[in-house]
Amino acid sequence: MLLSYAQNELCLLLFSLMVPIGVTALGMVSCIKGFFVAETSESDEASESEQAIGLWKKADSFSAIAIAFVAVGLVAAIFHVGASDRILYMFSGVTRSPLSNEIVVTGIAVAIALLYWIIAVVKHPGRGFHRLFGIVLIVLGLGAGGFTGAAYDIPTVLTWTEPYSVLGQVFLALLGGSALSAMILVFAGFGEDGFGAIPLVVLGVIGAIGTIAVVFAQGDMAALAISSAGVTLGERADDYRSLAIGATLLVAVGIALWIMGSLRSKKRSAVTVLGCVAVLVALVLVRIDFYGIFLPAGIM
């Protein structure tokens, strides 16, 4: 039953999942390049510089995966809105409407992400550029997630009015962005030497703990919610718990493989990618659960 509710909101599901993850991942890749990969070395400047430039160029190319995430999410949002005049109308409520705030913050995040990626691919700038844009993009990615969650703070929807919607999206962006960026860096060849692998794992673990905690906290809240018509989630509560447990197991397995891949010297790439894919699939289940937990104050 939850799947049917999620299918009805498929465009919003893709948007709320892919844009924050894509922007955050792009920022994390940029930070890894800016903080963990040196451009030169006093002992072997030419060799180190050549290696770094090669890695950066590959990372810039494979960062197209993060841009693809953002693009798919953006297209899904446009399909949901349906008409361009509606988008313009949404901008009119900035500072007053959570939906307008979401559109503006997300728009800024997407624009800066595209600008950064184009400059990185064409110009291949130095570490300072990647440090600055990396931090900015991570903040914007997490911010886009938070403002997206705030847009679901609807008083008439009992199960979405708590801060869990905002926290869930921020942790989702942190976890998903860490996983996607780890995959991108492995594809680019960073995984062979483990550049920045541990910091990404740490951020991923923090995001995982927060995401799962919010899922179960929101589930407990939903179990107690009763609409003004005396309606409860009923059987859907059991479905919600099942998917929540499934997402938790996938995240646990994914994180374990991810950590294993970050510590091992052989077959690191395959293990890391497998773990990160498991994490991303788990986040799809998390968003399905979110939409399936819908319980309005009126008759369902």
Q: Could you state, in order of their start, the residue ranges of all structural domains in the chain? A: 2-292
Q: What angle do CA 199, 202, 208 make, to 5 degrees?
A: 140
**pLDDT at residue 34, rounded to an integer:** 85
Residue 284 has pLDDT above 90, yes or no: yes
Both tokens of residue 212? 């799962």
Q: How confident is the model at residue 20 (pLDDT cuts 50, 70, 90)?
A: very high
- 255: nearest Cα among 170, 161, 175: 175
Contact 33, 127 (CB under 8 A): yes
**Other C-beta atoms lying within 10 Å of the C-beta of residue 240:** 25
Report the phi/psi class of residue 268: left, alpha or beta, with left for phi > 0 and alpha for psi in -120 to 50.
alpha
**pLDDT at residue 255, rounded to an integer:** 95
Residue 49 has pLDDT above 70, yes or no: no
**pLDDT at residue 173, rounded to an integer:** 97
Looking at CATH, the fold of the domain delimited by 2-292 is given as Formate dehydrogenase/DMSO reductase fold (1.20.1630)
**pLDDT at residue 45, rounded to an integer:** 45
**Residue 49 belongs to what H/E stretch?**
helix 45-62
Return phi, psi of residue 78, to 5°: -65, -40
Contact 300, 231 (CB under 8 A): yes
Kindly report the average pLDDT of the chain as a whole number. Answer: 84
Residue 47 CB burial class (10 angstroms; 0-12, 13-18, ≥19): exposed
Distance CA 240, CA 245 (A): 9
**pLDDT at residue 41, rounded to an integer:** 41
pTM: 0.89
Q: What is the largest CA-CA distance in the chain?
A: 74
**pLDDT at residue 286, rounded to an integer:** 94
Instruction: Tell which wins on pLDDT, 134 or 160.
Output: 134
Q: Which of 111-120, 149-158, 208-217 has the lowest mean pLDDT?
A: 149-158
Residue 252 has pLDDT above 90, yes or no: yes
- Specify the 3-state DSSP secondary structure of 135: helix
**pLDDT at residue 157, rounded to an integer:** 85
Q: What angle do CA 202, 108, 130 make, to 5 degrees?
A: 50
Q: How confident is the model at residue 175 (pLDDT cuts 50, 70, 90)?
A: very high
- In tens, the pLDDT along 78-134 reads 886 655 555 656 666 666 678 888 888 999 999 999 999 999 999 888 889 999 999
Q: What angle do CA 234, 238, 240 make, to 5 degrees?
A: 105
Distance CA 114, CA 251 (A): 29
**pLDDT at residue 235, rounded to an integer:** 67
Residue 250 amino acid letter = L
